[in-house]
Chains A and B, each alone.
Chain A
């Protein structure tokens, strides 16, 4: 792996305009090595554009995105080579088996990996001979994470990894994210599920209208809110409806 530089991601005053819409309006933050960093916000807030600038998929109008010491606009190829990317919409070649897809992507990074081992990390080794179109939604997301892991990335970007998944599959994905973090990777993820952010993220940036309006640990953010004298409308219960659903239908995956 490349030399460790901390903070592993530095975003400095990123700006991006699409015709008359300002998608990113001066976003700055840092991500420390080994943490799970969450970006929260409603649809259209600028999360995906920010992430895609960091990934080298889009050029910023101004500002700097530095990944592990390399400025993305100076050497996008070098940045792409050391990060793992799960896009919001992922698609892979049809007519190829999962193991062949993983193998192909590994070769694109000139990485030597055992495709089955990578698939087993995301729990898909039993489907190694299946084709992409045969997979369920949760399996597709897990495959795209497997593909993002082929180059042993310094940073893993996950753009809305659990959108559209049922609670069972979502929980399984959370476990996977924790496991990848435990293996030493830094993870940046976007979500609009607050529960997910609370569950997974070490720190959270709340994005609105292309700007970061809050950035701290989930606990600190909640404490700040409570210190203003805020009282939740409903009585806090010991369990959520999510728990009821999982209790009724079980934790087992349905795919």
Chain B
């Protein structure tokens, strides 16, 4: 225990005296956060709308297709799902409105009332969606008007509005947990790889082997240090990010910070283990750097750190949803901006757990003193 404490304290001292490591751990992710946070990607995309189709018949399908527009003119980005899922998406900002198509839609002789629920904080988008909805239903109605007079009046479509005040905070809030997750990956992997590979190539590890301590002591000290660093780093990044970009974290729920710490520790453990495996394999810094980059670079772009997975082609997301960083970023985002808590996370925790087990198994096989 005493040996473990001594090694932990010493490696913490070494870490915090290393200005370069601090730059990559804190200032670089903050810089990215702020630069991307100033961009407004919403401007260029069609608004996201959740459509609940209770009718599920030819007429309702035709209406949904019409609302999507065609390849020449894209109107709405449509997602489907259960009513609860769609309302949750609206509440936490991943869509701007929910359109509910009633069960009697398209049945001759019945009055179908389409419900339109929107987030009152996004009036501009509400106007766009409402206009599209009116135009499309109007067109459908006019088509219906082609039929003989006796059916015309009976085939009526109405629209009823209702309003919610959502908690979604837009792209800025979406970005912060993703960048924090990326920073955990970078810290965990790179600081472990570079310190261990340097210690190995310089012979520091060999000198430790001449002492009575085992590898376990030394590694435990290293892991504790990095674990402390990733949790502190997550706090700093999320707090500074939230203050600078003006968003709230976890809807103001204090427990969200505890949940974030747990995720940061899990993510830290995961990427430290990957780092240990890489540094066991690599002989020197020259071989370690490209491997570390090959592992981290694709994840930076494929794991939904800077932009959502939904903008990527399906064949790619089919794979990238299983990446370690995807699980971490999704989990941290669910807690910071989507109102989830650690107990309501399911797939993310399982995904992280599986990756942690795989990585540690490889790390134990690969670690070498010299």
Q: Which residues of A contact B (CB under 8 A)?
A: 55-57, 77-78, 80-81, 85, 87, 89-96, 100, 103-105, 107-110, 147
Name A56's closest neighbour in chain B (CB-CB): B210
Which residues of chain A are within 8 angstroms of B213 by Cβ–Cβ distance? 108
B74 within 8 A of A: no
Residue of A nearest to B209 (CB): A57
- Distance (whole angstroms) from the CB of B165 to the closest CB of chain A: 51
Binding site for A on B (CB under 8 A): 2-3, 6-7, 10, 13-14, 17-18, 199, 202-204, 206-214
- Taking chain B's interface residues, is the majority helix, strand, or loop, or is none over half, making it mixed? helix
Distance (whole angstroms) from the CB of A136 to the closest CB of chain B? 17
Closest to B10 in A: A104
Of all chain A residues, which has the CB nearest B211?
Answer: A108
Q: Which residue of A lies closest to B18 (CB)?
A: A95
The interface residues of chain A lying within 8 Å CB-to-CB of B7 are 104, 108
How many angstroms between the C-alpha atoms of A104 and B213 in the bound complex? 12
Q: Is the CB of A87 within 8 A of B212?
A: no
Checking A91, A108, A109 against B204 with a beta-carbon cut-off of 8 angstroms, the contacting residue is A91
> Smallest CB-CB separation from A107: which chain B residue?
B6
A103 and B5 alpha carbons, distance in the complex (Å)? 13
Nearest-Cβ distance from residue A76 to partner chain B, whole angstroms: 9
Instruction: Give CA–CA (A100, B14) in the complex, Å.
Output: 11
A87 partner, pick from B14, B199, B206, beta carbons under 8 A: B206
CB pair A93–B210 under 8 Å, yes or no, is: no
Interface pairs (17), CB distance under 8 Å:
A55-B210, A77-B214, A78-B212, A87-B207, A90-B203, A91-B199, A91-B203, A91-B204, A92-B207, A93-B10, A93-B14, A93-B199, A93-B204, A107-B2, A107-B6, A109-B211, A110-B3
A91 contacts B17, C-beta separation under 8 Å: no
In the assembled complex, the Cα of A93 lies from the Cα of B214 at a distance in Å of: 17
Asked if A109 and B13 make an inter-chain contact with CB atoms under 8 angstroms apart, the answer reads: no
- Which chain A residue lies CB-closest to B210? A85
Q: Which residues of A contact B14 (CB under 8 A)?
A: 93-96
**A87-B203, A96-B13 provided; 9 other pairs, C-beta below 8 A?**
A81-B212, A87-B206, A90-B203, A95-B13, A96-B10, A107-B6, A108-B3, A108-B6, A108-B208
Contacts of B211 in A (CB 8 A): 80, 105, 108-109
Bound Cα distance from A91 to B202, whole angstroms? 6
B212 touches A77 (CB 8 A): yes
| Cα separation A19 to B210 with both chains bound (whole Å) | 24
Whether A110 touches B18, Cβ cut-off 8 Å, given contacts A55-B210, A96-B10, A96-B13, is no
Which residue of chain A has the shortest Cβ distance to B15 in the bound complex? A95
* Chain A residues within 8 Å of B204, by CB: 91-93
Chain A contacts of B18 at CB under 8 A?
Answer: 95
Of the candidates A80, A91, A96, the one whose C-beta lies within 8 Å of that of B212 is A80
- The 7 A-B residue pairs whose C-beta atoms are closest, nearest first, are A107-B6, A91-B202, A95-B14, A85-B210, A81-B212, A91-B203, A95-B17
B20 to chain A, nearest CB (A): 11
CA distance A107 to B5 in the complex (A): 9
A80 and chain B: residue at smallest CB distance: B212
Give B309 Cβ to nearest chain A Cβ, in Å: 40
Task: Please name all residues of chain A whose beta carbon is closer than 8 Å to the beta carbon of B209 when the two chains form the complex.
Answer: 57
* A104 contact set on B, CB distance < 8 A: 6-7, 10
